[in-house]
């Protein structure tokens, strides 16, 4: 049974997936009974009735089923929202609460964020012990960067439940945070908080966070250029706070985004260097175990310096199993090792399965293990330099093949020059990573640290310039790609069928690929048929007005000038819908329309739209309108417009205030008029 851990991990993962999507499928008591019963049956057959061949086959299936049940149960046990004392399950008014800090501070564009665990809440009946995690946001001038893991704060006010996405295909932060057992958030203003207790839990995490903070301060002190400082902190420590939009866009377009988050690549570099330097010890009788133990100590020491962030823990855990498997003997294989590491991580946190980093890391490693050597063997390089270049390229190709479906599904793009960028990014990241670790070690020696910091800053600048040059090449990236979840699965199966066809050259795999192509084409046709239907949407972007028509595959966006110039808001709120609908973006005012007396009229597919954008307008007489959009609290009352315009639907966009929307909604209800507030109800979408 060479792949026993693969089977166990696969069934356990299946149980995790089923529970995440169907958490109430089976009651917990019944699951516990099934798990105990199936486990007892398996061990009974394994130890006492193993000679009965038929029972042995059945017991194997029952044993694997017990692992699926264990995966299901693990999700239920790790889901903190199901606890009776969880913050989600509390009624009544919360005026204040105590929270224990759990994560280092993360610097956002306009705020500082830290995650904490709520210990107790103040209600009209007094203090009450509760559980639950909350994301806390402070203004950047608040002194929260220096607080340690475990420090306890008193926060005035109450945490609010994270909001669901308001616009179509917008990133679902509530679901993303829910997989981390974070369901609440609060923006904390000056004077609404105070430190009431220093950490008493001065254990491993406490000192890991301090080590991370000290490492970050070293880089900020010695590396002066902002972009190079951000690259070094991201590559060495996994701290992405200093990365600006320009850098992120360039690395993404060139196919080098993987170097900006500490992952398997970085840990494999460290592990490879350790193996190289400790190679002479292999001749010693206990050499393999010595190398494994030293590797474990140094790998986990590196994880400690980075603050034990989730991405680093994932990579270090994976390579810890690789390090241990070496001295265990020849019978171990890499697939069992990877499966064992994934199983341990999912036992610790089953929701890691829904992490994009987890999925891409394991797929990339599996692709490299399975495909890299056959790809490399396709060409025998004539010299050492070409052999080195082809070796790096084969690794990149293998990883890209394995992660192609997920990459398109999550990031909606494909970098065409990933081979070019990886030829210099991977060696450069190796130098930067080793140099960055060395800089942390020699930083007490001011002169040496300054020299090394200058060299690293120059090297990071050179790497960035290479990335920018790659990004500027024509057709550097195919973007705005969109596939559905079903298409992602089908594309993955199609790639798998292609690999198996090349390897085994059996006609059955060709038939399988043909079926996958048919399925992918059918889903694509259905999506295309749905997307060509004309639609109109009023986006929910607080403080802005914006609406869009999708007509014959083209997007026509009408919005205020500040929104049109805000690339980040366009990318987050509007682009996901445009990409999913395969819209070709038109200009902001290309839709047929006229302006008169402060009003804007549009007529699309026999529907009439009127947009009142300011209070300076003059209403025509006896005009019939299908949709009336009001912005910027423009109407003093609904009666003001009802006497002149016969409208069927009133839409209040995101530029209005909450108080104003509630007032007009009450007036519309009295007048028996249809009224929709995007601030409260989310984007308004209608098929024309």
Single out the residue in 202, 232, 248 at which a domain terminates: 202
How far apart CA 216 and CA 104 sit, in angstroms, is 11
Write out the two tokens for 112. 């500082």
Query: Is 144 a domain residue?
Result: yes
- State the pairing for strand pair 414-415/645-652: unpaired
Residue 524 confidence (pLDDT): 93
* pLDDT in the model for residue 452: 94
Same domain membership, residue 646 and residue 598: yes
Q: In the block, which residue shows the tokens 């220096």? A: 146
- Is 284 found in the same domain as 165? no
The Cα-based distances of 182 to 135, 492, 503 in angstroms read 7, 31, 45
Give the Cα separation of 180 and 341 in Å (integer). Answer: 20
What total number of domains does the chain contain? 5
Question: Collapsing DSSP states into helix, strand and coil, what is residue 357?
Answer: helix
135 with 157, same domain: the answer is: yes
The residue to which tokens 């199983």 are assigned: 343
Mean pLDDT, range 317-327, rounded to an integer? 81
Percent of the chain past pLDDT 90, that is, above it, reads 48
Residue 327 falls within a domain, yes or no? yes
Residue 658 confidence (pLDDT) above 90: yes
pTM above 0.85, yes or no: yes
Please, are residues 339 and 366 in contact by the beta-carbon 8 Å criterion? no
Same domain, 301 and 313: yes
Residue 449 sits in the same domain as residue 572: no
Residue 376 lies in a domain: no
In this predicted model, what pLDDT tens digit does every residue of 41-72 receive, in sequence order?
888 887 776 666 767 778 888 889 999 999 99
Contacts of 137 (CB under 8 A, 6+ apart): 108, 111, 112, 113, 185, 186, 187, 188
Q: Is the pLDDT of residue 641 over 90?
A: no
**Residues 546-601: pLDDT tens digits?**
999 988 888 888 888 899 888 889 999 999 999 998 887 654 445 556 666 668 88
The Cα 399–Cα 495 span in angstroms is 12
Do 392 and 368 contact (CB within 8 A), yes or no?
no
HSE (CB half, 13 Å, CA atoms) of 123?
Answer: 12
**Same-domain pairing of 292 and 396:** yes
Q: Where among 202, 236, 259 does a domain terminate?
A: 202
Domain that holds residue 153: 87-202
**Residue 492 CB neighbours (<10 A):** 18
Report how far residue 598's alpha carbon sits from residue 612's, in angstroms, rounded to the nearest whole number: 7
* Phi, psi at 358, each rounded to 5°: -60, -50
């Amino acid at each position: 049974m060479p792949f026993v851990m693969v089977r166990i991990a696969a069934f356990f993962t299946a149980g995790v997936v089923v529970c995440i999507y169907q958490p109430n499928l089976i009651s917990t008591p019944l699951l516990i009974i099934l798990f105990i019963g199936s486990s007892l049956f398996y061990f009974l057959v394994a130890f006492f009735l193993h000679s009965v061949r038929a029972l042995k086959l059945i017991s194997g299936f029952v044993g694997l089923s017990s692992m699926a049940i264990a995966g299901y149960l693990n999700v239920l046990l790790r889901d903190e929202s199901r606890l009776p004392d969880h913050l989600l399950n509390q009624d009544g008014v919360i005026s204040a609460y105590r929270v224990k800090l759990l994560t280092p501070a993360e610097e956002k564009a306009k705020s500082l964020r830290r995650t904490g665990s709520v210990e107790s809440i103040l209600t009209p009946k007094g203090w009450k012990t509760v559980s639950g995690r909350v994301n806390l946001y402070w203004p950047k001038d608040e002194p929260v960067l220096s607080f340690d893991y475990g420090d306890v704060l008193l926060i005035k006010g109450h945490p609010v439940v994270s909001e669901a996405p308001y616009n179509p295909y917008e990133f679902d932060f509530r679901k993303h945070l829910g997989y981390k057992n974070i369901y609440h958030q609060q923006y904390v203003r000056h004077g609404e908080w105070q430190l009431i207790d220093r950490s008493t839990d001065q254990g491993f995490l406490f000192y890991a966070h301090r080590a991370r903070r000290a490492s970050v301060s070293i880089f900020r002190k010695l590396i002066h250029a902002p972009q190079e400082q951000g690259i070094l902190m991201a590559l060495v420590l996994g701290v992405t706070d200093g990365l600006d939009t320009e850098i992120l866009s360039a690395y993404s377009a060139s196919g080098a985004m993987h170097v900006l988050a500490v992952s398997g690549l970085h840990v494999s570099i460290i592990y490879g260097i350790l193996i190289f330097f400790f190679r002479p010890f292999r001749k010693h009788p206990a050499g393999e175990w010595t190398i494994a133990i030293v590797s474990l100590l140094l790998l986990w020491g590196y994880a400690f310096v980075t603050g034990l962030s989730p991405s680093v823990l994932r990579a270090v855990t994976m390579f810890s199993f690789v390090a241990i498997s070496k001295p265990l003997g020849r019978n171990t294989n890499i697939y069992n090792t990877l499966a064992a590491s994934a199983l341990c991580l999912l036992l610790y946190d089953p929701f890691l399965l829904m992490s994009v980093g987890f999925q891409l890391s394991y797929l990339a490693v599996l692709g490299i293990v399975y495909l890299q050597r056959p790809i490399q063997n396709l060409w025998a390089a004539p010299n050492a330099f070409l052999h080195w270049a082809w070796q790096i390229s084969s690794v990149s190709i293998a990883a890209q093949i394995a992660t192609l479906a997920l990459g398109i599904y999550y990031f909606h793009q494909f970098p065409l020059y990933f081979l070019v960028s990886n030829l210099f990014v991977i060696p450069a990241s190796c130098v930067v990573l080793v140099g960055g670790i060395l800089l942390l070690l020699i930083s007490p020696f001011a002169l040496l640290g300054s020299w090394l910091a200058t060299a690293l800053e120059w090297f990071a600048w050179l790497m960035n310039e290479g990335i920018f040059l790659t990004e500027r090449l024509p057709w550097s990236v195919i973007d705005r790609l969109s596939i559905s979840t079903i298409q992602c699965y089908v594309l993955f199966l199609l790639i798998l069928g292609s690999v198996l066809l090349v390897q085994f050259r059996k006609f059955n795999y060709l038939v399988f690929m043909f079926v996958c192509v048919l399925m992918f084409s059918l889903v694509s046709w259905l999506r295309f048929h749905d997307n060509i239907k004309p639609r109109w949407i009023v986006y929910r972007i607080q403080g802005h007005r914006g609406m869009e028509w999708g007509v014959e595959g083209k997007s026509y966006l009408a919005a205020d000038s500040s929104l049109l110039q805000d690339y980040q808001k366009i990318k987050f709120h509007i682009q996901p819908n445009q990409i999913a609908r395969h819209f070709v973006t038109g200009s902001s005012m290309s839709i047929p329309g006229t302006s008169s007396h402060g009003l804007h009229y549009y007529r699309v597919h026999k529907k009439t739209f009127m947009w009142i954008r300011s209070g300076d307008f003059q209403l025509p007489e006896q005009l019939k309108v299908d949709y009336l959009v009001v912005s910027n609290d423009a109407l003093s009352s609904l009666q003001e417009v009802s006497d002149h315009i016969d409208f069927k639907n009133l839409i209040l966009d995101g530029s209005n205030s909450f108080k104003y929307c509630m007032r007009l909604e009450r007036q519309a209800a009295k007048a028996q008029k249809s009224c929709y507030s995007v601030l409260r109800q989310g984007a308004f979408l209608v098929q024309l």
